[in-house]
Structures are given as C-alpha cells and as structure tokens.
C-alpha cells in the first residue's frame, strides 16, 4: 500500500472539507485516520486491511453502529487517494467492498450464472431480482468450490445439506434456496442441464416462513390524516405531497419517486403511470386530498425553472430527481415528527401500502379488485396482506375460555 502521494496531497482534502462546511467530527475523523496511516506506514496492504485492523483495535464489530463513523472516514481517504474523488454529500463512490462470490467462481459455475443473467435480461426480469438471485447462487457455488467441488457432479447431497444446515440448525432460508433453484433451472440449452435439474431435485425441503407485516392501526392512520390536513404541521410541501400520495393511493415508494408531472391528470382526476416493479400501466382515481397537496407543492415550492419532468426533486439539487431511498427517509422523518413508530425497524413508506390493502380487505372489497389497486400481476401477491388482516384472523380464532389454562401460560 503506497501512501506517498497521500502524504503530499492530504491538505487538499482537509481544505476542501473545511470550505464545504463539514463539521468538526467529520473532519476530525479524517485527521485521526490520516495520523494512524502515516504513523504506521507499511503495516497495511490495502485500505480494507487498514479498516479491518482499525475495528479490531477499537473492539468494534462490522455490525456495530459505531463502525459507520470509522468506515466513512476511511472511505473518504481511500476515494481521495486512489480515485481522486472529494467527499460529496449527494453521491459517494462505494469503496471497501468485500470480495464478491462471483469473482471467485471458475468454470461451469461461472458459466451457469452468466447464462442465467443473459436469459433473465432477455425475459425482461428486473435488474434487482437478477442481482439478488445471481448473488445467492454465486455464494452457493463459491461454498462448493471451497469444499473441493469444482464441477456439478462433485456437488453431493451432503454438501448441499451442509450449506443449509449446521448440526440441525438452519443457516439459510427458503428465499435463498428458491433463488439458487431458479438459477439452476435457467440452464436450459446448456450441456449441464441434466446435472442442474438433479441438484434442484436433491435440495432439502424448506418452509417459506415469514413474519406478518407491520401495519398501521386505525388510531395511527387518524393521526396521520389529521396532520396532513393541518397547515401548521411544519411539513415541507414536497413531503406533504409524498405522504398524501402514499397514504391515499398505496403506491410503492419507487413509483412515487419516478412519478412525472403529467402522471397527475388534474382535469380527469386520475393518476396514470407505469409501475417500476412490474412495468404494467396503473390508473388510479385522484382524490381531492392528494390533488390539493400536489397542486400546492407545484405552485408554491417546486422551482419553476427546473427542466426535469419528475414530479419530486431533490431539495438541495432541484435538477436531480429523488430516488426511492429518499421517499423512505421522508416517511421515517414524518413518523418521527408525529411520534409514530419511533425506534421501530418497520417505519417506512410500505406501512401506507399495507394499511390501504388491509383496510380494503376489512371492508369486504374483493381480493381481485384490491390486487388491481395495488398493481399486482398475480393475486397471490395479496397473501401477505391477508395474513396481516387481524380483524378477520380473530374471527377464525377458537374460544378457549372454557378450558383450564395455567396462569403461568397466559391470561385468558
């Protein structure tokens, strides 16, 4: 690891951060890491090695929240030293990535995944799904290679079992297995198709176990509706419009982020868009509460000179459209502001979608019609929402009040 250039040019990095208004904590972290690098020059083979040893010295694990502070400072230095990038609050080049399983693959394993990616793209599968499934398969094949199996015939049932179980404890779940099987079954047309089908057949049976969705209660929904109607809520008009759309349409965060101005048809009272997940056209009624919030945002807050057609723009860079992650942050910030779901993991934009679906179910709307509103291609996509419909689930419960149950079990 050669840091001679960094020792000469690091003042440029620090001066830039001061000029851009970075805080003392951020700059102090950079200065501390630079000092450690310079004092221990020659002790590290890479920035990744430096970061790993830094966490070890501090007694911090990768999953510890405190590791983020050290990771950001090391990433900033690496980006400046090796790529010439200066810190940017809006976009940052990812560094310190772990070595991917795909890069370790050889021979037929690599061929299968490359073939899967090719046929999946041709079939129009979403890029995120292709990435997820190929990563699961790559990790599976990399494990087999590490165990000495370099061909499909080397992969035995016991090896597969060891990948999913360790002494009876399940290590990986249904989604992982399903993704691996999809990659293997995409081998149609390859010489190894029979071997791939055989591996699919000897996969262990795993149950598709999932927790019920977290959903908003009616009381929480009432607080949200009241906040949106209150002009003194201190919400930005953009955030108010985003939350209104999510609350009353149940649109996905990705669809809200990619919504264009002409998707809102005020004269016809319609919302018309192409869904980013399914690429299917979706037409929804435009309720007055949503239309008013969007119109107010367009007239009073959205910059008039902006050329992009996206409805919602970045607050600090109006020419830059917001991405789905920003929609999630808007929702979490909104919940924190009104005191709902504070500190909970599931407090994002999906809560609105789940609430709308379960409310429609409780009101007796047919699943087929709900699927159309939600923009689902398959009616089966509604099953998780049905599982979260507590009102109807209680109707299926069995009354056990007549049976003696010990107090130590639960109160009847």
Q: What is the pLDDT of residue 294?
A: 94
Do 241 and 312 fall into the same domain?
yes
Q: What is the mean pLDDT of residues 144-152?
A: 91
pLDDT above 90 (res 25): no
Do 79 and 107 fall into the same domain?
no
**CB–CB of 199/137 below 8 Å?**
no
pLDDT in tens, 220-231: 889 999 988 876
**CB–CB of 72/92 below 8 Å?**
no
pLDDT above 50 (res 94): no
CA–CA dist 380, 378 (Å, integer):
5
| Of 28, 48, 83, the domain-final residue | 83
| Of 201, 234, 250, the domain-final residue | 201
pLDDT in tens, 196-208: 999 999 999 888 7
Q: What is the pLDDT of residue 290?
A: 93
> What is the β-pairing status of strands 264-265 and 281-285?
unpaired
Closest CA to 6 of 69, 64, 79: 79
What is the total residue count of the chain? 412
Q: Which of 40-54, 193-207, 247-261, 357-371 has the lowest mean pLDDT?
A: 357-371
Q: Is residue 358 part of a domain?
A: no
Question: What proportion of the chain, given as a percentage, has pLDDT over 90?
Answer: 33
Q: What is the mean pLDDT of residues 123-149?
A: 88
Q: What is the pLDDT of residue 286?
A: 94
Helix H or strand E segment including 256: helix 253-257
Q: What is the pLDDT of residue 248?
A: 93
pLDDT above 60 (res 260): yes
Helix H or strand E segment including 147: none
| Of 336, 353, 370, the domain-final residue | 353
Q: What is the pLDDT of residue 89?
A: 57
**Residue 242 exposed, middle or buried by CB count within 10 Å (0-12, 13-18, 19+):** buried
- The number of distinct structural domains making up the chain is 3
pLDDT above 70 (res 90): no
Cβ neighbours for 118, distance < 8 A, ≥ 6 positions apart: none
CA–CA dist 35, 370 (Å, integer):
59
Cβ neighbours for 348, distance < 8 A, ≥ 6 positions apart: 253, 328, 331, 332
pLDDT above 70 (res 338): yes
Q: Which structural domain range is residue 132 located in?
A: 102-201
**Residue 143 exposed, middle or buried by CB count within 10 Å (0-12, 13-18, 19+):** middle
SS3 category, 170: strand
- Cα 45-51-54 angle, rounded to 5 deg: 110
Do 34 and 110 fall into the same domain?
no
Q: Kindly indicate the confidence band of residue 379, based on its pLDDT and cuts at 50, 70 and 90.
A: low
Helix H or strand E segment including 123: none
CA–CA dist 349, 399 (Å, integer):
36
Q: Is residue 369 part of a domain?
A: no
SS3 category, 162: helix
Q: What is the pLDDT of residue 100?
A: 65
pLDDT above 50 (res 311): yes
Q: What is the mean pLDDT of residues 376-402?
A: 65
CA–CA dist 147, 154 (Å, integer):
10
Helix H or strand E segment including 301: none
Q: Kindly indicate the confidence band of residue 375, based on its pLDDT and cuts at 50, 70 and 90.
A: confident
Closest CA to 394 of 357, 362, 359: 362
Q: Which of 91-95, 263-267, 390-394, 400-404 has the lowest mean pLDDT?
A: 91-95
Q: What is the pLDDT of residue 93?
A: 44
Do 79 and 108 fall into the same domain?
no
Do 154 and 257 fall into the same domain?
no
Q: What is the pLDDT of residue 67?
A: 84
Q: What is the mean pLDDT of residues 43-69?
A: 84
């Amino acid at each position: 690891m050669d840091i001679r250039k960094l020792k000469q040019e690091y003042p440029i990095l620090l001066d830039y951060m001061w000029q851009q208004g970075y805080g003392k904590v951020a700059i102090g972290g950079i200065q501390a890491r630079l000092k450690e690098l310079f004092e221990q020059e020659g002790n590290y083979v890479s920035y990744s090695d430096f970061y790993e040893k830094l966490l070890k010295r501090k007694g911090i694990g990768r999953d510890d929240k405190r590791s983020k502070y050290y990771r950001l400072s090391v990433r900033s230095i690496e980006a400046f030293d090796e790529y010439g990038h200066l810190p940017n609050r809006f976009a940052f080049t990812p560094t310190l990535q772990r070595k991917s399983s795909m890069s370790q693959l050889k021979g037929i394993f690599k061929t299968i995944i490359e073939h899967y990616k090719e046929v999946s793209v041709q079939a129009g599968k979403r890029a995120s799904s292709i990435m997820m499934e190929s990563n699961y398969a790559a990790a599976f094949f990399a494990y087999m290679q590490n165990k000495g199996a370099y061909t499909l015939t080397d992969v035995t049932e016991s090896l597969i079992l060891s990948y999913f179980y360790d002494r009876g404890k399940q290590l990986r779940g249904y989604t992982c297995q399903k993704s691996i099987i999809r990659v293997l079954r995409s081998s149609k047309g390859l010489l190894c198709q029979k071997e791939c089908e055989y591996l699919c057949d000897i996969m262990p049976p795993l149950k598709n176990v999932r927790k019920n969705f977290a959903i908003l209660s009616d009381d929480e929904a009432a607080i949200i509706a009241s906040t949106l109607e209150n002009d003194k809520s201190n919400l930005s008009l953009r955030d108010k419009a985003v939350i209104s759309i999510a609350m009353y349409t149940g649109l996905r965060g990705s669809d809200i982020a990619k919504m264009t101005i002409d998707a809102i048809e005020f004269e016809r009272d319609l919302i018309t868009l192409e869904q980013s997940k399914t690429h299917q056209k979706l037409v929804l009624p435009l309720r007055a509460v949503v239309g008013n919030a969007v119109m107010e945002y367009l007239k009073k807050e959205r910059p008039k000179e902006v050329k992009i057609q996206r409805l919602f723009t970045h607050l600090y860079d109006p020419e830059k459209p917001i991405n789905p992650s920003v929609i999630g942050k808007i929702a979490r910030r909104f919940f924190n502001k009104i005191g709902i779901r504070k500190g909970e993991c599931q407090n994002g934009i999906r809560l609105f979608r789940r609430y709308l679906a379960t409310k429609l179910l409780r009101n007796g709307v047919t699943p087929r019609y709900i699927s159309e509103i939600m923009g689902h291609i398959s009616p089966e996509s509604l099953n998780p929402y049905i599982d979260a419909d507590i009102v109807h689930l209680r109707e299926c419960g069995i009354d056990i009040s007549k049976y003696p149950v010990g107090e130590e079990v639960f109160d009847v």
